[in-house]
């Protein structure tokens, strides 16, 4: 008779979860377990097992005891799962409904929350479960919002937000970034060499010496390092950068120079990176870019070309003159012509000297014109002031005359600063250093190495029928 009575009793699993903070606030393992055991006894239920997840967040169901409970439920012979409070099961609305509907109820197991005094075996309990899950989700979102506000405040205070993970060159100690002297030497060297035009491969070798083992360094990760503003003493959160309290490894001028070189490489669309000149070639007739295209020439042969966007009319926003008939160049011919010019520079120093002394750079001409105008405006202002000092003109007349002149002088000075700030030219010495790398890159380098040399040396290439003009960054 006793065995029959036990067999007919409701079989339940108890589930207990706490996080460290919740143990302090009255949700301890012992207290939950005791109350659940008392509740089960009062309901005359048989407790099969108590599953406990200590110190686990309710934002995920990837908890060892909960996963074991799920396996037990799916094996059958469980009538109810009982928790102290709904958010002990999960703080996620999606996860709560998944566990109740797709795991418990799907396997003939009801769910009971002791504190909220309902269970899914009743119509009221089934209706309330969705409402309570919504509030559990709301609480989780509020906690997340408070945490984000705290991290924003931390970033604004100049403190690092990365849970102990520090960029190469720093250690994370007591909530602060502290320079790792050994790694910092390599970080600074990488920035200096990249700014001077060095290829990717030797920079990756330096990083390997610093202890970096990731195979991603030759590509995306190197760019990530070179773009990291932690190295100039800044910290970030949610895409915003703030002045940091840690010591910078490099200065702002070097960082800005590196960003200019990175921008030269990034001008090329990602899907076109396998073509050496994409993004550099322009039409000398309509001004549109040239792009790389391929065309079948027989069943087993493909020819590749560079052609003007306007001529092909393949992208309406890039077409400047739909009647443009500029020459279509075979890709191999144009690329070899450009590489040939770089080879000539690499072996003939006199050729490099002649190019650096050739036609002045357009920016130089613009600066000369702006400086000439600035000198003229300044001279006019001085003449009015001299006339006033001699008593030849009233102060009101001086004011009316020099107010527009002063405004013009301010505008010219701003233009001069803008031209100088965007000046990405190489010095002759930097160009010569870059050309030393060229021979080795042609023989042993990667595509990225060759592409970087080309974009470092060349600002743009202009095509006018058979004439190809290369605008170098150093002349």
CA dist list (Å): 301 to 273, 275, 335: 22, 18, 19
pLDDT at residue 76 is higher than 80:
yes
**pLDDT confidence of residue 1:** 36
**pLDDT confidence of residue 392:** 78
| Mean pLDDT score, 333-356 | 87
Least confident of 202-211, 217-226, 420-429: 420-429
Tokens (6 digits) for 421 = 């700030």
Please state, rounded to an integer, the average pLDDT across all residues of the chain: 78
3-state helix, strand, coil in the chain (%, to 5): 55, 15, 30
**pLDDT confidence of residue 260:** 82
| pTM, to two decimals | 0.39
Question: Is the domain defined by 2-144 classed in CATH 3.20.20.70?
Answer: no
Of 21 and 311, more confident: 311
CA dist list (Å): 321 to 144, 285, 308: 54, 9, 10
Rounded-to-integer distance, Cα 54 and Cα 51, Å: 10
**pLDDT confidence of residue 70:** 95
Least confident of 33-47, 105-119, 174-188, 361-375: 361-375
**DSSP assignments along 121-169, one per residue:** TSHHHHHHHHHHHHHHHHHHHHHHHHHHHHHHHHHHTT---STT---TT
Q: Any idea which residue has 């330096």 for tokens?
A: 206
**pLDDT confidence of residue 5:** 40
Question: Is the domain defined by 170-266 classed in CATH 3.40.50.920?
Answer: no
pLDDT single digits (tens) 84-104? 988 888 877 778 878 988 899
| Mean pLDDT score, 189-201 | 76
Tokens (6 digits) for 447 = 């595509």
**DSSP assignments along 390-416, one per residue:** TTSS-HHHHHHHHHHHHHHHHHHHHHH
CA angle 447, 232, 201 (to 5 degrees): 20
Of 362 and 256, more confident: 256
Of 79 and 225, more confident: 79
Of 119 and 357, more confident: 119
| Mean pLDDT score, 410-414 | 84
pLDDT at residue 6 is higher than 50:
no
**pLDDT confidence of residue 270:** 42
How crowded is residue 154: how many other Cβ atoms within 10 Å of its Cβ?
16
**pLDDT confidence of residue 182:** 85
**pLDDT confidence of residue 175:** 72
160 by Cβ neighbours in 10 Å (0-12 / 13-18 / 19+) ranks as buried
Least confident of 164-173, 281-290, 415-424: 415-424
pLDDT at residue 232 is higher than 80:
yes
**pLDDT confidence of residue 97:** 79
Q: So where are the chain's domains?
A: 2-144, 170-266, 281-359+426-472, 362-421
DSSP label at residue 374: H
């Amino acid at each position: 008779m006793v065995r029959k009575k036990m067999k007919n009793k409701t079989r339940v699993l108890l589930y207990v979860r706490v996080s460290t903070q919740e143990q302090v606030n009255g949700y301890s393992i012992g207290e939950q377990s005791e109350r659940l055991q008392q509740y089960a006894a009062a309901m005359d239920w048989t407790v099969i097992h108590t599953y406990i997840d200590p110190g686990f967040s309710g934002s995920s169901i990837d908890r060892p005891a909960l996963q074991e409970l799920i396996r037990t439920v799916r094996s059958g012979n469980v009538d109810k799962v009982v928790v102290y409070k709904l958010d002990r099961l999960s703080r996620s609305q999606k996860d709560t409904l998944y566990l109740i509907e797709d795991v418990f109820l799907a396997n003939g197991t009801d769910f009971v929350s002791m504190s909220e005094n309902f269970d899914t075996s009743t119509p009221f309990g089934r209706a309330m479960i969705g409402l309570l899950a919504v509030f559990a989700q709301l609480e989780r979102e509020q906690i997340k919002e408070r945490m984000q506000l705290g991290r924003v405040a931390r970033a604004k205070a100049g403190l690092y937000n990365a849970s102990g993970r520090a960029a190469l060159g720093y250690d994370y100690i007591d909530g602060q970034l502290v320079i790792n002297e050994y790694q910092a030497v390599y970080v600074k060297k990488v920035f200096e060499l990249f700014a001077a035009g060095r290829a990717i491969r030797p920079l990756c070798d330096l990083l390997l010496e610093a202890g970096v083992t990731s195979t991603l360094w030759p590509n995306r990760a190197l760019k990530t390092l070179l773009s990291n503003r932690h190295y100039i003493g800044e910290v970030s959160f949610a895409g915003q950068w703030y002045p940091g309290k840690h010591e910078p490894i490099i200065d702002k001028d070097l960082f800005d120079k590196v960003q200019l070189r990175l921008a030269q490489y990034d001008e090329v669309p990602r899907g076109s990176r396998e073509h050496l000149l994409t993004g550099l070639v322009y039409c000398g007739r309509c001004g549109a870019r040239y792009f790389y295209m391929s065309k079948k020439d027989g069943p087993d042969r493909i020819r590749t070309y560079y052609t003007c966007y306007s001529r092909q009319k393949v992208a309406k926003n890039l077409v400047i003159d739909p009647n443009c008939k500029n020459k279509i160049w075979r890709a191999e011919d144009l690329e070899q012509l450009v590489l040939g010019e770089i080879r000539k520079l690499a072996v003939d120093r006199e050729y490099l000297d002649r190019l650096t002394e050739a036609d002045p750079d357009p920016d130089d001409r613009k600066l000369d014109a702006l400086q000439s105008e600035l000198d003229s405006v300044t001279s006019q202002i001085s003449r009015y002031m001299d006339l006033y000092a001699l008593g030849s003109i009233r102060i009101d007349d001086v004011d009316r005359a020099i107010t527009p002149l002063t405004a013009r002088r301010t505008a010219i000075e701003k233009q001069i600063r803008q031209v100088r700030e965007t000046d990405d030219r190489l010095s002759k010495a930097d160009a010569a250093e870059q050309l030393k790398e060229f021979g080795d890159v042609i023989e042993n380098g990667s595509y990225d190495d060759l592409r970087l040399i080309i974009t470092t040396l060349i600002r743009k290439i202009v095509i006018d029928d058979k004439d190809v003009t290369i605008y170098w960054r150093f002349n």
